[in-house]
């Protein structure tokens, strides 16, 4: 089993401190949700994190999402996470950029309600197509 600590805070400096704490508590990864940061300065601090980093962003504006993720992906990050609710072309663009830079990709699904088995099967099929 692997443990991922989801970090939130105002700045990368704050998240760096929280990542060190997460490591001491036994986390294997940390997730940084870019949209939760008030200060997007210093993305290069990602290289100083003591654990592998998963970058995610649930920004609703297409350009904001791509811009935030591309800035962060220039630095040493292990994974990028895209929400299946993003437009397909946005996921493809993010994943193309990530894979070109040797970054592993994750597709997530955050339901507001538990889906039916039929809906869940369709979501899994869509994820499989996008992950190729």
Could you give the CA distance from residue 119 to residue 113 in angstroms, rounded to a whole number?
11
The region of weakest confidence among 20-34, 58-72, 80-94 is: 58-72
Q: Which residues contact 19 (CB under 8 A, 6 or more apart)?
A: 5, 7, 30, 49, 50, 51, 53
Question: Per residue in 91-121, pLDDT tens?
Answer: 888 889 889 989 999 988 877 778 889 988 9
6 vs 39, residue with greater confidence: 6
Euclidean distance between CA atoms 23 and 35, whole angstroms: 23
Residue 59 scores a pLDDT above 70: no
Nearest-Å Rg of the Cα atoms of the chain is 15
Tell me 46's DSSP state: G
For the sheet with 104-108, list strands across it: 4-7, 29-33, 53-56, 79-83, 104-108
Q: Torsion angle, CA of 23/27/109/41, rounded to 10 degrees?
A: 0
Q: What angle do CA 6, 72, 15 make, to 5 degrees?
A: 35
Residue 42's Cβ-side half-sphere holds a number of Cα atoms within 13 Å equal to 13
């Amino acid at each position: 089993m692997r443990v991922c600590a989801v970090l939130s805070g105002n700045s990368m400096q704050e998240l760096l401190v929280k990542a060190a704490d997460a490591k001491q508590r036994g986390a294997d990864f940390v997730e940084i949700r870019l949209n939760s940061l008030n200060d997007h300065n210093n993305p290069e601090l990602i290289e100083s994190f003591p654990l592998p980093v998963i970058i995610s962003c649930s920004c609703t504006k297409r350009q904001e999402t791509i811009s935030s993720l591309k800035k962060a992906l220039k630095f040493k990050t292990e994974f990028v996470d895209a929400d299946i609710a993003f437009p397909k072309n946005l996921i493809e663009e993010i994943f193309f950029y990530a894979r070109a830079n040797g970054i592993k990709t994750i597709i997530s699904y955050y339901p507001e309600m538990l889906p039916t088995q039929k809906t869940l099967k369709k979501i899994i099929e869509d994820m499989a197509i996008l992950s190729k």
